[in-house]
């Protein structure tokens, strides 16, 4: 019995060891893999997701960015409410080719969000090839 118990505890320990980082991080994404485009012109953009919500948010004192709704907003940015859209892809609300001119198109949505902040912070990539790395 003790042997089986030892195995069980060992298994639990290993599981926890490997799961722990996953519990702490939202996703291990390194690139924005966007499949809403019928065809793509550029390589996927580099995007260290969790580095943004943790390290970069902290280092650059970007309090908002540790809140998921900062990017995963529901009614657009600068809203009073903090509804989250985590789990809903950007492309669900920002079509590649929106019919409604008031809706921000997908590529612009990404560029405005990402580049906008990088320009403001004077840090992070702003030229095409710095994000769309070959």
Residues that bind other proteins (CB under 8 A): 41-42, 107-108, 111-112, 115, 119, 122-123, 126-130, 133-134
Spell out the SS3 assignment of the chain: CHHHHHHHHHHHHHHHHHHHHHHHCCCCCCEECCCCCCCCCCCCEECCHHHHHHHHHHHCCCHHHHCHHHCCCCCCCCCCCCCCCCCCCHHHHCCCCCCCCCCCCHHHHHHHHHHHHHHHHCCCCCCHHHHCCC
Under the binding rule (CB under 6 A), the answer on residue 103 touching ligand HEC is: yes
How near is the Cβ of 11 to ligand HEC at its closest, in Å? 27
Under the binding rule (CB under 6 A), the answer on residue 107 touching ligand HEC is: yes
Residues 47-86 touching ligand HEC, rule: CB under 6 A, are 47-49, 52-53, 56, 60, 62, 65, 68, 70-77, 85-86
Residue 134 interacting partner from other proteins, ligand HEC, none (CB closer than 5 to 8 Å by kind): other proteins
């Amino acid at each position: 019995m003790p042997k089986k118990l030892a195995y069980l505890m060992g298994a639990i320990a290993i599981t926890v060891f490997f799961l722990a980082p996953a519990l702490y991080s939202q996703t291990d994404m390194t690139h924005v893999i966007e499949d809403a485009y019928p065809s793509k012109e550029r390589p996927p953009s580099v995007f260290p997701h969790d580095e943004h919500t943790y390290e970069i948010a902290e280092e650059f004192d970007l309090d908002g960015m540790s809140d998921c709704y900062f990017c995963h907003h529901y009614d657009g940015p600068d809203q009073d409410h903090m509804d989250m859209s985590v789990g809903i892809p950007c492309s669900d609300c920002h079509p590649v080719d929106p019919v409604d001119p008031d809706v921000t198109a997908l590529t612009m949505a990404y560029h405005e969000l990402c580049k906008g902040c990088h320009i403001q912070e004077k840090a992070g990539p702003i030229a095409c090839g710095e994000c769309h790395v070959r």
